[in-house]
């Protein structure tokens, strides 16, 4: 009886050691962190070449034009401000490093698949990746994300050209453009 009890203890101890060494081995070498990045300028260009953008822009233009043709100067000014602000933001996104998070919200349900296919743990704008541990790997997912918008026309040519250029700083995309657009608006709708 003592020998059977001893055999069970030895088997239990060996089994325990096996489980401990297996879990220690599995935890011993962590996987290399992979981060997916994208060029926000190319993402906004893809979006601007999509049917979704064209529908949204057309709707915005119709709504604004209806307000601009009316007699209410306050609504005219509000419509102009919305249009000018939208254009200003598009310039920041297309020529600088302006955030495209609101645009990516439109395809957020597809981003996990892109991340899984690339084997990345996170996806961030390449302009927002302010620090990277040397052991982390960065994977460019720009074109995979851009294609989620089904861009039309000359997208790939434009994307290639933009990718070669350094972005303008946000400070270079000035309010001067907004002032010029406002002057055009006043001239057209208020006769100033």
At 18-31, the pLDDT tens digits run 444 444 444 444 67
pLDDT at 56 over 90: no
pLDDT at 140: 97
Residue 111: predicted pLDDT: 97
Closest CA to 38 of 144, 162, 134: 144
pLDDT tens digits, 150-187: 999 989 999 999 999 999 888 888 777 666 666 665 66
31 located within any domain:
no
pLDDT of 121-151, one tens digit each?
Answer: 999 999 999 988 889 999 999 999 999 999 9
pLDDT of residue 121: 94
- Please tell me the total count of domains within the chain: 1
Query: Is residue 18 domain-resident?
Result: no
Asked, for residue 25, whether it belongs to a domain, the answer is no
Cα–Cα distance, 137 to 106 (Å, whole number): 27
In the beta sheet, which residues pair with residue 34? 137
The domain of 161 spans 37-189
Mean pLDDT of 59-84: 79
Could you tell me the pTM of the whole model? 0.72
Q: Is residue 32 part of a domain?
A: no
Q: With respect to residue 130, please indicate whether it lies within any of the assigned structural domains.
A: yes
Place of tokens 């297996």: 22
Q: Which run of H or E residues covers position 59?
A: helix 51-69
Residue 159 lies in a domain: yes
Give CA–CA dist 34/121, Å, rounded: 6
Residue 20 lies in a domain: no
CA atoms 175, 176, 177, 178: torsion sign: positive
C-alpha span between 94 and 145 (Å, rounded): 16
Cα diameter, the chain: 108
């Amino acid at each position: 009886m003592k020998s059977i009890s001893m055999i069970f203890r030895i088997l239990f101890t060996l089994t325990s050691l096996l489980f401990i060494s297996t879990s220690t081995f599995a935890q011993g070498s962590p996987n290399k962190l992979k981060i997916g990045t994208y060029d926000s300028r190319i993402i906004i260009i893809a979006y601007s070449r999509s049917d979704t953008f064209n529908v949204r822009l057309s709707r915005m233009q119709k709504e604004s034009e209806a307000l601009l043709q009316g007699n209410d100067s306050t609504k005219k000014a509000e419509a102009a401000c919305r249009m000018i602000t939208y254009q200003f933001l598009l310039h920041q996104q297309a020529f600088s490093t302006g955030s495209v998070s609101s645009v990516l919200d439109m395809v957020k349900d597809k981003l996990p698949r892109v991340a899984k296919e690339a084997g990345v743990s996170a996806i961030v704008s390449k302009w927002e990746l302010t620090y990277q541990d040397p052991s982390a790997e960065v994977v460019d997912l720009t074109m995979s994300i851009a294609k989620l918008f089904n861009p039309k026309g000359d997208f790939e040519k434009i994307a290639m050209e933009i990718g070669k250029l350094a972005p303008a700083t946000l400070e270079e995309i000035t309010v001067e453009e907004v002032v010029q657009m406002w002057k055009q608006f006043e001239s057209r709708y208020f006769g100033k």
